[in-house]
Amino acid sequence: MNSVYDFIVEPIGERYNNTLKINDKNLILNSSIESFKFINKKAKVISVPLAYKTLIKIGDEIIIHHNVFRRYYDIRGKEKNSSKYFKDNLYFCQIDQIYLHKKNSEWKAFGDRCFVKPILNNDYLKQDKEQSLIGILKYDNSSLNALDISSGDLVGFTPNGEWEFIINNERLYCMKSNDIVIKYEYKGDEVEYNPGWAVSS
């Protein structure tokens, strides 16, 4: 069972991550299907496309776009699967909808995607907990490496290109390589910022 151009994947766990475990209790965070933040983005690869070869293999764990598993209401108010639904909890996933893949228990950025960890705002006159448009590169890629930018570097990025993901209990921003616009020198007072709810999710 292979698609010509798409991966076939299944969700790891439920399609939505709507609960948060606090001690021995489960807190329901969301009961709506509209909010993309609560859609599960972890998937297992069931088959790979025939049209091209990638480093991703059958059985690999990947992080994908939220719309793959998403459900929605049509114009009549009827709940429906996304257009990516195939059958029996299986979904089609395009190659540009894959952001991370796991190799040897480590996450690797896929294609032109990268992930940045925000840093704590040390300006006490501002209310924001994190510094705007600056962070530490967590998952790099070959195109950034060619520019001498790699994981661990302090980088600046463009606004409105980042998407929030929780990876290994860390809140990270996913973006494309060309959203990274500058590499900074460390001053020594940079601290990674991770909200408490990310660690508990």
At 7, list the tokens: 């991966």
Kindly report the length of the chain. Answer: 201
Q: Which of 96, 113, 91, 102 is nearest to 52 (CA)?
A: 96
Amino acid at 149: I
Domains within the chain, CATH numbers bracketed? 1-110 (2.30.33), 112-201 (2.30.33)
Q: Which of 104, 1, 96 is nearest to 48 (CA)?
A: 1
Mean pLDDT to the nearest integer, 100-110: 93
pLDDT band at 2 (very low <50, low <70, confident <90, very high): confident
Q: In whole angstroms, what is the distance from residue 100 CA to residue 115 CA?
A: 9
Sort strands 85-87 and 79-81 into parallel, antiparallel or unpaired: unpaired
Mean pLDDT to the nearest integer, 50-65: 93
For residue range 168-194, list pLDDT tens digits in order: 889 999 999 999 999 999 988 888 988
Half-sphere exposure of 42 (CA within 13 A, CB side): 11
At 188, list the tokens: 């020594």
Q: In whole angstroms, what is the distance from residue 162 CA to residue 158 CA?
A: 8
Strand pairing partners for 42?
63
For residue range 15-47, list pLDDT tens digits in order: 656 555 667 766 555 555 555 566 789 999 999
Is 0.85 topped by the overall pTM?
no
Q: Is 196 helix (H, G, I), strand (E, B) or coil?
A: helix
Q: Is 95 helix (H, G, I), strand (E, B) or coil?
A: helix
pLDDT value for 28: 56
Mean pLDDT to the nearest integer, 38-64: 92
